[in-house]
Structure 1
């Protein structure tokens, strides 16, 4: 659902109409004072040449490097209303899933346009997201151009990835974390699963949706040819050596060959303007092309 909170709501059934409409999402044609919540939203605004209208961003918005100079209002799933309102926003544009709900309710009641852009893990989802942001900031023509260029590039890299994979696509296990030796992996209907498939491979984790812990038996049965992980810091970080030292990983085909791929989280899973490049890089890491 896309929501524009300045006295009205746009529900899911109106999403296609919103994207296609020539009318601006808000009364102000090209608003400034924008707070971007979500890395892909920030990337899109920069790609549309409207970075000068941004006044703040959330912690996940670390690309491009210039974005990091903006005030940080906190992690998108743990926002405080005080942190967001302290920068005096004229508009808030957010990825779906921002929270907590109590904060969102306060922000929506502050008489500031609050737009939530749905996220879908597909080429069509990225295009819809770009067009929705373009409409919100009064740049529909630039959004159409950006979306068109991305469509062409993404179609080309996905086709190349499938050709490189041939008749035997590799099985890839995306591991979110290994805290306590427990494998937290990506099942179906996730950004990671969609990226694996776009790169010409198969998700080795089947039988569940979302991110869940896998038993040692399930990991061994999945028999991944490669392990995919995010480059990250803090408690969830695990070096390649640490990962390969886990007996359950060592017993898989990926562990035996040391096939571990690590990529920046926003680049890999953001589903924004750089997705075509991320698919190309992942495919190259898997198939050596």
Structure 2
């Protein structure tokens, strides 16, 4: 996720934390978590909703970049985005056996043997993709450089862009768009129904009638010197809300998805729990290293060492497994 760090740092370096916590609040009564934990999916693999679907082709779809793209074959699919979401959707649609190339963020077991076509972490490798002779490339603007995607189009390969946003509300539309481009819209509807059911069941795990815990997501990359706190539209806010908690970045009035961490901002926010990505936590030296970041150790979360790490490929992917991610997080918070 090195490119994520660079993008976030560039986009939000000048943003301030703002906002002031007011009044007092009762101690949370919903939390069972008493210390550090890892929110692990009980099942990390992707399971297709159908086997061996029959695509109805050709189809012409409007790519997210505005181009009209005709897909005549899905025999050799390349899926590339920053989070591995597109690979997850294609495998869930039952077309995983046709994926011949993937990004390095695709982390579920079924895709382990598919060749990686990204270089230097998250940069597209045009030569590697062309060598696979793909019949269609699925991508978005979260990955690049854009010259590579254009080069693929100039080589005559259908390249379909999808919306790069990753939100809980956007999951159904994302699935439907991918299914339409691959000629399996009815399978897409089956997958949407399955994912919606998992999300609904996961949301029900949050206790009712208790004071909701206050959570914040910190994006940290020690090797790159990136230390950011999340706010509205970060993606993390949707996951926090889904488990019945308060996203403190939104609560204290942040107006950017990510801002640099400051002691003042964290002390205003008063999070009961801090979320981090697993590799990010490792990059700062684990729990003790995270607590040395100014302000972190003085929060209720820091004082109680209530730090929850989630796999980098799970927390913000917003693919078909998102209900499982919410479930894993809710169980850590409320079952201890």
| Common topology (TM > 0.5) | yes
Deviations 1:197-243 (A, max 9, x none): 11111222241322221211111211110010111179845412221
TM-score (norm 1): 0.83
Q: Is the 8 A contact 1:77 1:100 kept in 2?
A: no
CA distance in 2, matches of 1:128, 1:138: 15
Residues 265/224 of structure 1: CA separation in 2 closer, same or farther (3 Å cut) = same
Identify the residue that residue 97 of structure 2 maps to in structure 1.
Answer: 52
Task: Give the aligned partner of residue 229 of structure 2.
Answer: 185
Residue 264, structure 1, aligned to residue 322, structure 2: no
User: Do 1:41 and 1:95's aligned partners in 2 also have CA atoms closer than 8 Å?
Assistant: no
Gap change, CA 1:190 and 1:102, over 3 Å in 2: same
Matches within 5 A, 1:224-235: 224-232=271-279
Show the 5 A alignment for 1:23-172: 26-28=70-72, 31-38=74-81, 39-63=84-108, 65-74=109-118, 77-161=122-206, 164=207, 166-172=209-215
Question: Which secondary structure does the structure 2 equivalent of 1:160 belong to?
Answer: coil
Structure with the bigger percentage of helix: 1
The alpha-carbon deviation at position 55 of structure 1 amounts to 0.6
Paired residue secondary structure (2:276) = strand
Aligned equivalents of 1:214 and 1:269: distance in 2? 19
2:217 match: secondary structure: strand
Structure 2 runs not aligned, ≥5 long: 1-57
SS at match of 2:170: helix
Q: Give the count of matched residue pairs.
A: 271
- Of 191, 200, 216 in structure 1, the residue corresponding to residue 244 of structure 2 is 200
Cα separation, 1, equivalents of 2:274 and 2:281: 20
Unaligned ranges ≥5, structure 1: 1-5, 19-24
Aligned counterparts of 2:281 and 2:243: Cα–Cα separation in 1: 28
Relative to the length of structure 2, the TM-score reads 0.72
CA contact (8 A) 2:222 2:280 kept: no
Which structure 1 residue ranges, 4+ long, deviate > 3 Å from structure 2?
11-14, 119-124, 180-183, 233-238
> 178-187 or 41-50, which moves further after superposition?
178-187
Aligned partner of 2:62 in structure 1 is 10
Two-structure CA RMSD over aligned residues (Å): 2.9
Structure with more contact order per residue of length (Cα contacts < 8 Å, sep ≥ 6): 2
Q: Report how far residue 279 of structure 1 moved.
A: 0.8
Q: Which residue of 1 aligns with 2:49?
A: none
Instruction: State the 1:178 CA deviation.
Output: 5.5
Separation of aligned partners in 2, 1:112 and 1:121: 26
For 2:93 and 2:164, locate their aligned partners in 1 and report how far apart those are by CA, in whole Å: 18
Pairwise CA distance, 1:110: 2.1
